Structure 1
Amino acid sequence: MTPPDHTGTVPEGDRETVAEEDDPAHAVTLSVAAVARRLGVAPATLRTWDRRYGLGPSDHTTGRHRKYAPLDVARLELMQRALLRGASSAEAAKYALASPVRTPPTAVPASLTGGELDGGGPAGGRGLKLPVANRRARVVGRAALAMDSAAVQTLLADAIEADGVITTWDEVVRPVMAAISAKWEHSGAGVEVAHLVEECALAALVRATPVVTSPRNHRPVLLACMPDERHDLPLYPLAAVLALRGVGVRQLGAALPADALAAAVRRTAPAAVVLWAQLPRYADPGVVTALPRTRQQVRVFVGGPGWERGVVPQPADRITTLPSAADAIERAVC
């Protein structure tokens, strides 16, 4: 019998069925080591939380054996989620002890966003090199290393609501992604963390992008990657910022074939086309010059690190930062 949680089943060696199987608080008990593995923290961290804050096992067996019941684990998960939101250890413990516990645990309220991070376990933020002053990025980095996609999405949504898309992208998403990339270059680990952050950022940005039913621009803006370029995440904050300004965009996604791009230009007669290249080998000037001519002028913008040292053919314009790109496109089409 396994506790009704969201993290998976418990290894056979860590299971212990007790007499009161019908009582959810005592149905299964876990050792300190099993709970530590489940939460991704060190066993010493659990002992510290027990000693300092009283968040320990409710079932003490004979000798030195300490067993955590499902509701004990649920309370610890509440504390961990509060820590991932940026609460201090004391704040997180107070919240976990005061909250009504059920399994799985309740969501952590958005008010728990202050304080310092507790770097007690292997899932802590110390694994990523981020500026100490950048609290939001550090908290997102910790949640990412813990592979807690719900926390990452919630944190990014909170950041967008508080600071806007541009600030969240430049000061949270980009630094975290850069730190994950540096970790991978140094150790070869972290690809799964990068994918998780990308998916969470994509979801948060899509939710922050309104549907523009009455755009200020009479003809759309097409956002697309260069052929074979699959890194399209940077186009999503651009789409969100433009939509928030009332500019209608149509996203064509990653790795758009050249003939499909040409067909889209002919069918929509766009006011502007933005072509993204993350890698230099995809920044092909021939794709730009081969765009079909339309009766009305089409402004062409190229962006991404791939174009930084490459040739940008006329009449295309290079865009760099997210704010300047949004401003340039808005001026061109509105």
Structure 2
Amino acid sequence: MSRIYCVPLSLVFAAVVLSACSHHESNAYQGYVEGEFVYLGSTQSGKLTQLSVTRGETVQAGTPLFTLESTDEAAALQQAQQQLAAARAQLADIQTGKRAPEVNINRAQLAEAIANARKASLQLTRDEAQFRAGGIARAQLDDSRANADATAAQVRELTSQVDVARLPGRSQQITAQTAQVAAAQATVAQAQWKLDQKRVNAPAEGLVYDTLYRLGEWVQAGSPVVQMLPPQNVKVRFFVPEAMVGQLATGRTLTVHCDGCAADIPAKVTFISNQAEYTPPVIYSNERRAKLVFLVEAHPSVADATKLHPGQPVTVSLQ
């Protein structure tokens, strides 16, 4: 035998009101803030000698972050610069020929040879006249001619030496030394790059989210020392049901509401997943969600990004 229970009207009304309050806006979805962190390290190993920033500090682009010990790199750069200077000096020496004092010596030797040649020529003229008069033997005349020819040949030789002394080195020598200068320049550039890697600056404006080493610790090459969060890397992730994803497109405007925020924050959809997935395990709502959902990401403006924090739960309202 069935029984009929009467429910007071006031209780029914209360249930309706509670049901209405628990029903959320159809275009509102739960999500969370995520940050794409930038881990800054050096390509070189070394002891951490200076940490110029602290966790939670906002820095501008180009701000020094940290410095590693660079004694060896500085010495290598100085050595490379000295080698470059030596290579350039040698190239200049080859291109300019002999030094002026060396050329002057050749010229003095040439002047002496010219004087000897004139003397030998005059002696030859006198001996020829004496030979025609029968005053000297042919042997003496032949000696005079040989001496005149020898002094004239010496003049030609020294003249050529003076001309060569004023010439630069051979083209092959200049080409080889030019290559040596280029190689020395590359060595300097490499040494300078290694030295610069010991000092790391902020690549962009952002928040110093964390520092991962202390002063005096050894930092391996590639190990991050500072963890940064640029404002443009702050995004909101939320999930929409399958029936809603077709209505979304990149560039669509939405608003983000977070607890404690003075006002809602505008953002734009920047990514819509092409693959469906089940409701994620982390959801900031006690209400039941559709089992099949699509991931959507949105980015606020750079000015508004600092109002959001990674891991913060938010409510996203589509417009």
Q: TM-score scaled to structure 1, two decimals?
A: 0.20
Higher helix fraction (1 or 2): 1
Q: TM-score scaled to structure 2, two decimals?
A: 0.21
Higher relative contact order (CA 8 A, sep 6+): 2
Higher strand fraction (1 or 2): 2
